[in-house]
């Protein structure tokens, strides 16, 4: 059996109503995605730290999974009638039937990080029992070790093990960087995220990996004195968070930033130059990782 995947553009004002209408007309599933994903315009859907506001992106794509026998012209006509919207631009693709669990698991093999540690999904056997291992499955929060930004941060941690240091992972997602810091000898690790689901997930992942990580919402972390501050998020929040992240890092401490496209390095460096001296950036694909030291 196959399905049809229908992708429609939608503004932030229309995306929720369109999603509801698609489900009411018989869509098997509906997701709302950032139309600018993987570009310089990509941004998170939550407000700034300390805000409980939840927002959609300005430009969205709404993706609906439909029965393979759906008459698309008739479906779009009924959808327009239900929403008052017109859909001259849409994409249609066929989604073949498969074992979705196996297909998903096949995308996540163990990830080695030099002679430092392994990231291993729960369904895989340990490839090496001589190095620290992080057991982590893909889930509701960002961070499995496969994305270039996460890998760049993990590689920095491996090259600079935070032994006996205080570490703050701001925008912790799944908790992978916080867990790695704990596995590599950090004395105290805190993970912060705007998304309560991410905080819950990070706590569970830390517990499953038998490490002590304090996972909290913004404003609940220690306000200063961290030896290492890591933030793997996106450029726009990194820009607005610059004074806050600088205040969390002690004099002489380290800052690691990622979620930055190659073209955005200069902008981020200039913004943080008031507090930090930066080393040469490191790149993977089109993504960058910046590391700097806090001046007194």
CATH code, domain with 178: 3.40.50.150
Q: What is the pLDDT of residues 217-252, one digit of tens each?
A: 999 998 888 999 999 999 999 999 999 999 999 999
Does 41 lie in the same domain as 160?
no
Provide the sign of the torsion angle of the four alpha carbons 173, 179, 185, 189, taken in this order: positive
CATH number for the domain spanning 25: value is 3.30.70.120
Going by pLDDT thresholds of 50, 70 and 90, the confidence category of residue 49 is very low
Among 14-28, 142-156, 166-180, 215-229, the minimum mean pLDDT is found in 142-156
Going by pLDDT thresholds of 50, 70 and 90, the confidence category of residue 86 is confident
Using the predicted structure, report yes or no on whether residue 105 has a pLDDT greater than 60: no
Domain count within the chain: 2
Does 162 lie in the same domain as 46?
no
Q: What is the pLDDT of residues 54-83, one digit of tens each?
A: 455 778 899 999 998 999 999 999 999 999
* Residue-range definition of the domain harbouring residue 250: 141-294
Using the predicted structure, report yes or no on whether residue 104 has a pLDDT greater than 70: no
Using the predicted structure, report yes or no on whether residue 97 has a pLDDT greater than 50: yes
- Find the farthest-apart pair of alpha carbons in the chain and give their distance in angstroms, rounded: 66
In a domain, 16, yes or no: yes
Half-sphere exposure of 184 (CA within 13 A, CB side): 23
Does 279 lie in the same domain as 145?
yes
Going by pLDDT thresholds of 50, 70 and 90, the confidence category of residue 101 is very low
Q: Report phi then psi at 163, rounded to 5.
A: -60, 130
Using the predicted structure, report yes or no on whether residue 156 has a pLDDT greater than 50: yes
Does 88 lie in the same domain as 154?
no
Apex 29 CA angle, 64 and 104, nearest 5: 100
d(CA 79, CA 6): 12
In a domain, 104, yes or no: no
Does 196 lie in the same domain as 58?
no
Does 181 lie in the same domain as 236?
yes
- Report the range out of 26-40, 132-146, 159-173 with the highest average pLDDT: 159-173
Does 159 lie in the same domain as 87?
no
Q: What is the mean pLDDT of residues 191-220?
A: 95
* Mean pLDDT value across the chain: 87
In a domain, 135, yes or no: no
Q: What is the pLDDT of residue 12?
A: 84
| H or E segment and range at residue 86 | none
The pair of structure tokens assigned to 266 is: 């200069």
d(CA 276, CA 227): 13
d(CA 236, CA 42): 9
d(CA 293, CA 296): 10
Does 206 lie in the same domain as 148?
yes
Does 33 lie in the same domain as 161?
no
d(CA 153, CA 145): 9
pTM of the model: 0.68
């Amino acid at each position: 059996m196959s399905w049809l995947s229908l992708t429609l553009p939608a503004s932030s004002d229309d995306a929720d109503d369109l999603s509801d209408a698609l489900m009411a007309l018989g869509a098997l599933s509906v997701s709302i995605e950032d139309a600018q994903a993987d570009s310089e315009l990509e941004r998170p859907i939550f407000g700034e730290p300390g805000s409980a506001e939840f927002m959609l992106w300005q430009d969205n794509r709404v993706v609906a999974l439909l029965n393979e026998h759906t008459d698309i012209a008739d479906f779009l006509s009924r959808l327009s009638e239900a929403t008052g919207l017109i859909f001259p631009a849409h994409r249609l693709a066929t989604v073949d039937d498969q074992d979705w669990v196996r297909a998903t698991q096949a995308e996540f093999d163990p990830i080695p990080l030099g002679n430092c540690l392994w990231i291993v999904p729960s369904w895989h056997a340990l490839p090496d029992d001589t190095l620290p291992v992080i057991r982590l499955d893909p889930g509701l929060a960002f961070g499995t070790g496969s994305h270039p930004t996460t890998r760049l941060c993990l590689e920095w941690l491996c090259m600079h093990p935070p032994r006996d240091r205080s570490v703050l992972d701001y925008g912790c997602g799944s908790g992978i960087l916080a867990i790695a810091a704990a596995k590599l000898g950090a004395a105290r690790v805190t993970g912060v995220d705007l998304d309560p689901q991410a905080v819950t997930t990070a706590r569970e992942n830390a517990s499953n990996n038998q490490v002590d990580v304090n996972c909290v919402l913004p404003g609940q972390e220690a306000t200063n004195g961290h030896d290492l501050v890591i933030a793997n998020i996106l450029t726009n929040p990194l820009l607005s968070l610059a004074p806050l992240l600088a205040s969390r890092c002690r004099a002489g401490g380290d800052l690691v930033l990622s979620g930055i496209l190659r073209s955005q390095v200069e902008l981020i460096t200039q913004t943080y130059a008031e507090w930090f001296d930066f080393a040469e950036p490191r790149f993977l694909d089109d993504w960058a990782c910046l590391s700097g030291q806090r001046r007194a």
